[in-house]
Amino acid sequence: MDPIKQWWIEERVKRAIERLEAHDFKAIFVKDKKEATEEIWKYVVPQQKVGVGGSVTVRELGIVERLEGQGNVVYNHWKPGLSKEEILQIRKAQMTCDLFLSSVNAITLNGELVNIDGIGNRVNASVFGPGKVILVAGYNKIIENVEEAIKRIKNVSAPLNARRLNIDVPCAKVGRCVDCNSPNRICRVIVIHERRPSLTDVLIIIVGEQLGF
């Protein structure tokens, strides 16, 4: 990477981490996906029950396959061939697992986490339930403030995810937010972590690469 761009990324990440730590989160910076996976693996033990939220970022790390290869119980509702009932049960199990892995839609330079969900299992598990929560995000998820974060999620993350999942909603057709009342709407729950939830051990790993949507 160009050293000037690398400097800019690292300074931006440094600001975000300082504010996250001031808000009682544990937060670290790693240079790439390999280092992110190595950090996660420090908290993985055999026989551990690991939940994986709906996250393109986590799956880009390749860690789901590594966990399955080690024999961990992996609650992965994106696994092909599951019935609707099985998916529902896996989503519920994610909220009481030993280790929950996911990402965030946005991290503000003020030290807040911003997520928008359609169902809520991902944000629920990030707030309370799992023994430990690790959230991984590329530097592209760092946004100025909550208002800008919500705007980005609705105009970038949501249309891309809806398109990826082939969901029939207006934003998947026009590539921007439309204030829809579609029964298929995926923007239903907004959760803002202003501080670390008091009973939840949260580690945020910010990666010096663009990851996810």
Residue at token pair 């790390």: 61
Asked whether residue 213 is domain-assigned, the answer is: no
Q: What is the pLDDT of residue 179?
A: 85
Tell me the whole-structure pTM to 2 decimals. 0.96
Low-confidence ranges of the chain (pLDDT < 70): none
Instruction: Please give the tally of structural domains in the chain.
Output: 1
**What gap in Å lies between CA 54 and CA 168, rounded to an integer?**
19
Helices (H) and strands (E) in the chain — how many of each?
9, 10
The pLDDT of residue 160: 96
Flag whether 27 is in a domain: yes
The pLDDT of residue 149 is 98
Average per-residue pLDDT in the chain? 96
For residue 132 the two structure tokens come to 């430990």
pLDDT of residue 190: 98
Q: Which domain holds residue 201?
A: 3-207
CATH of the domain at 123: 3.40.50.10420
Residue 44 lies in a domain: yes
Q: What is the spatial distance between Cα 127 and Cα 109, in angstroms, rounded to a whole number?
A: 20
Structure tokens at 111: 């030290």
Q: What is the pLDDT of residues 141-153, one digit of tens each?
A: 999 999 999 999 9
